[in-house]
A and B are shown apart, each in its own frame.
Chain A
């Protein structure tokens, strides 16, 4: 069940909870602005990163160096994905989606090119190794 908005720390808005989509939530704070909310326990387990996750990270760095977008654009796209995406997808799944959003906006490639390339790579095989070696 969704928690009621915490009005004890200074923000109130007419009607209480907003169910509007991220870019149109003109009343109240946005979902990702969590400062001051109850956080629950902090997971302390560490884990290694998969190769594809490292590549997503590297891609973001390279795109920044190329001037295609900045970390601000990455964050903006992550925020616009909404809270559901935060629950549903892993960290680097959200990063690659946000990177793609920014690259499309920057004109680095078209959706047509992306679609064709995805199809081509998928045709190489089901495993990451097969897809990688094409």
Chain B
């Protein structure tokens, strides 16, 4: 069953891996990629704990609105679970 998520729109200063153009946008989980150490902590010399990483698929319309040249084209981005809010039932992340 399709899982939909929305990327958190927070803007913390510092090293993050969630591109700004996807923040606040709604996408579909394409696949779970596994757990990895968090680059936001690694960047400052801390290992921390692993986080779940997902490949999320967004439509051009969702990202660019009326400006999308090919509205049905999609872009996949790899985003950590702590940047995602799941729609519907609670997701155990």
Q: Which of A's residues lie within 8 Å of B, judged by CB?
A: 8-11, 13, 22-30, 33, 35-36, 69-70, 72-73, 75-76, 79, 102, 105-106
Contact = CB atoms under 8 A, between A and B. Distances in A.
A8 B24 CA distance: 14
Given A10-B24, A11-B21, A33-B19, 4 more contacts: A26-B12, A35-B22, A73-B42, A76-B15
Interface of B: 11-15, 19-25, 39-40, 42-45, 63-64, 67
A72 B20 contact: no
A73 B43 contact: yes
A24 B13 contact: yes
Nearest to B22: A35
The 10 closest A-B pairs by CB, nearest first: A29-B20, A76-B43, A76-B15, A72-B42, A36-B21, A72-B43, A72-B39, A35-B19, A35-B21, A33-B20
A25 B21 contact: no
Contacts of B22: 35
Contacts of A35: 19-22
B44 A73 contact: yes
8 contacts: A10-B24, A10-B63, A24-B13, A25-B13, A29-B11, A33-B21, A72-B43, A76-B14
Contact of A70 (B20, B21, B42, B63): B42
B42 A10 contact: no
B15 A79 contact: yes
A69 B39 CA distance: 12
Interface of B is mostly: loop
Contacts of B63: 9-10, 36
A26 B13 contact: yes
A13 B13 CA distance: 14
A23 B42 contact: no
Given A10-B25, A73-B44, A76-B43, A30 B13 contact: yes
Contact of B13 (A23, A36, A70, A73): A23
Given A23-B14, A25-B13, A26-B13, A73 B45 contact: yes
B15 A8 contact: no
Nearest to B47: A70
